[in-house]
Every structure is written in structure tokens, then in C-alpha cells.
Structure 1
Amino acid sequence: MMKCIAVDDEKLVLDLLVDNIQQMPYLQLVKRCRNAMEAAEALHAHDVDLIFLDIQMPGLNGLQFLQSLKHPPKVILITAYPEYAIEGFNLDVVDYLLKPVSFERFLKACNKALELHRLQQKPVAKEDLPDYFFVYVEYIQVKVSIPAIVYIEGMKDYVKIYLDNTTKPVITKISLKAIQEKLAGFRFARTHKSYIVAADKVTAVKRDLVCLGGLELPLSESYKAAVGDMLTL
């Protein structure tokens, strides 16, 4: 069962969206919201797996609201404006639906969200995971050994992957979030919006710093708990 909220400032549209949600046996609606502030309150009060989100709303619009979330759940955007599609998918939304939305199209988007949810919930045995991945470096696919990774630095559309067997980082055009997904099942921790570190390479943790030998990287308050959990495993 996926817990969800529906966010739209138009009552009739919201009523129809709620009706569609209630026909999905694997969706549980925990809150209907008329604006971003109500949605923020709902996320604080409930463990939400999926947001059905309108874009054009008074005050904070849907995309601004989504960008404000540090760890957003899965999102299906529902809007009358096709011009925001690229920006929406750059924010890793599950799907982008244009109003008026047919039930068949709505069902397809929900099934896609369910499939992603199940993949994330399904435990994967570490021995079944390859200990490497490939990234493009200047149009060439380069193999990166996961055990060799010391830390990763995000730079907007690019990342630098620092390895223990070379002084020159691997630089590739990919998001930090996409790299983090490749590392799922391995001992890596996000320490800052721009950094991921290998837990086994951490030698000390100071107040706002993670130390990897003589190297010190920033540790944000919002990631301290996750880092602590990873280091105690």
C-alpha cells in the first residue's frame, strides 16, 4: 500500500483526482491539499510515498514546492501546462500528466509509481550486486570500481568520483542522486548536498566535518543522523 496526498487549488479538479485515487487498490489517500503549505503540513504529519501535484497554484507553485523538499517522495505532476515537462523530469518526477487526464493515463502513471515503489522496497542481496558501474567520460564508457571509491563530489550537472587508486577523479555528466542509486546496497552516506562518502574510508567525524585521512569534507545537520546510522552498521 502506498500512502499519498493530492495537491490542487481547484476544488473540482481535486475532487476528480481524489475519486481516481480511491479507485486504486494500492493507494491510500492520507490528505487532500489546496496549496503547497497544506502539502508541507501533510508531509510532516504522515509518511507519504507519493504526491499528486499541480504546478500552477497561488503562492508557492508545485515546482517551487518540490524544489524546497530535501528528501521528496515520488511525485506525479498533473497540470494544464506542457511547457514545464522538461523541468519536471529534471526533478526526477515519476510522470507528467496533462489535464484533462483520462483514467487510462492516470492508471498508467500510478502503475509506474507502484513499480518504482516495489523496486525500492525489495531487498537485494549484496552478493547479487555488481561491485562496479559504468559512466560516460567524454563519450567513452569508463568502469568505476565501487570498493575503490573514496568520495563523490556533485557539481550541478556533473560529479567527480575520487578513487583510492588514482589522484585524478573521474568526471562525468550525471546527477548526484543518480550516482547514489548506483551505490544502493553498499556502505555510502550522503554527508552534504554536494558530497557522498564511502563509510569504510571515514577515519573520524567532527562537529560539522567528516574526515577521510587528512581530507575533511562538510557534514550538514540534515545528514548527521544518516551518517551516524551508516557508521554504526
Structure 2
Amino acid sequence: MKIKCLVIDDERLAREYLKNYISKIPELELLGDFNSPLKVTELIKKGEVDLLFIDIQMPDITGVEFIKSLTNKPEVIFTTAYQEYALEGFNLSAIDYLLKPFSFERFFQAVNKVIDRFESKTGKSIQTQFPEPAQTTYAETYLTIRADRKFYKINFDDIKYIEGQKAYVSFHTSKKRITALASLKELEEALPKKQFIRIHKSYIVSVKEILSLEGNIIEVEDVKLPVGKIYKEDVMKVFGI
């Protein structure tokens, strides 16, 4: 059984964040992501949506106002950066309230509440398994990471930068983006020091991919990444400063 869900948030990055999390739980089926609640009214009226991940503060209509307007309400998980809206959200019988930025573990807890409620409604068991931790091994020119029941061989030369996202790490490579449960600190210690540099608590970059440094911003291809204060001195050395 799949729980059909929608993501509604006016911020693109927030939608991408949620889509990434949703893709890791087999029991969730994402029907789409939207920047306004007004775009999904008909879909919800048809009863095709089981679960909404919805922001509260949006330009057209707030998430709370939108949920109040519905007669055929799906289950709701509010996502917002404003803690003061939590009580109002729960008064609307929302399953949970996720305060941004939230980790995958916190997201997973909320989804488990949805699964429990659906099991109670349908009388059917929905088995959900926490994603397996990544198993990483290192060779001279590449690393092998096991995630999502696959082995990925990631060549050091293909890595542009590595982004830490709470318990997850995303490898941004010239071929694809690979996300797995892993430790950025472990990667920093294991990767070749001459090829990679930690520039921020959330980023490791390939030295050869660095194009420029302006203030506290490093440019890697068409992406601009922040440089943390404690890493600035090491970054300056890359430029011979």
C-alpha cells in the first residue's frame, strides 16, 4: 500500500528538501510538489490525496487557512520555520508539526505516525524500515558507498563537492547526485587531503573544482558555497594567500 502525498511550500529549496526525504520511504508516493495550496484544491476534492506536507506561511493563503477551507481533509503534517503556529496546527488535528530545518530522523518519526493511523483505519499492516546506514570503503582514486540497497563507485575526480544534510551526505558529482546516510566528519578524515578541503560545517569541496573566492563565498562551477570562519585560513592557502 502506498500513502499518496503532496508537498506544498512556496520555497523551492524546501520542496526539494522534502522530496528527497520522501523518496527514501517506500511507503510514500509523491503525487507532486506545488508552490501554492490553490493549485491542489481539485486534486484534494477528488479524494486522491492521503497526506499533505504543507508550509504555514505562504503568500496566497496560509497553510492553516487552506486546511480550514477543506471539507475532504487528508492527513496533514505542517512544516514551518515559525514555532508559534504549532498550537493552531494541532488544533486542526494535524498529525505532526515539523519545525524547519528538521532532520530525516524527525521527518521519519512524523511519517511513522501517519503509517500508524493508516494501519488503524485500514486494518492492514504497513511495514516501514529505516534506511540502512551507508557502508563506505576507500581506495586510492575512488570510494565505494552502499546505500539504498546499491553499491555506488564514486571516483574522486568526479566529485565537485559534498554537502552534509543532518544525518545525510550528498555527493555532487559530474555524473549524478548521490545521497546516503553518512558522516561528513568521517569523509573529511578519510578523503585525500591534497584533493579535498573542508570549507564549512556543511561542505567539503574538490580543490580542483574551485574557481574563485570572493569574501566568504567560494564558486564551484555555477554553484556558490559559503566558507565558515574556522575554515577560512585553510581556504586562503589554496589561493596561495
Return the TM-score normalized by structure 1. Answer: 0.51
Residues 79, 4 of structure 1: alpha-carbon distance in 2 compared, 3 angstrom cutoff:
same
- What letter is aligned with 1:32? D
Counterpart in the other structure of 1:104: 105
- What letter is aligned with 1:107? F
Distance (whole Å) between structure 1 residues aligned to residue 56 and residue 66 of structure 2: 9
- What letter is aligned with 1:63? V
Check conservation: 2:51, 2:75, Cα contact below 8 A: yes
The within-5 A match list for 1:10-29 is 10-29=11-30
The within-5 A match list for 1:81-120 is 81-120=82-121
Q: Greater helix percent: which structure?
A: 1
Q: Is 43-52 or 78-87 further displaced after alignment?
A: 43-52
Q: Point out where structure 2 has 5 or more consecutive residues left out of the alignment.
A: 125-241
The within-5 A match list for 1:41-52 is 41-44=42-45, 47-52=48-53
- What letter is aligned with 2:3? M
- What letter is aligned with 1:9? D
Distance (whole Å) between structure 1 residues aligned to residue 65 and residue 39 of structure 2: 14
Percent identical among aligned pairs is: 43
Runs of 4 or more consecutive aligned structure 1 residues displaced over 4 Å after TM superposition: none
Task: Return the offset for 1:46.
Answer: 5.8
Distance (whole Å) between structure 1 residues aligned to residue 22 and residue 108 of structure 2: 9
Check conservation: 2:6, 2:33, Cα contact below 8 A: yes
1:92-115 per-position Cα deviation (integer Å, ceiling 9, x unaligned): 000000000100000000011111
1:83-131 per-position Cα deviation (integer Å, ceiling 9, x unaligned): 01111111000000000010000000001111101101118xxxxxxxx
Counterpart in the other structure of 1:59: 60
Counterpart in the other structure of 1:122: 123
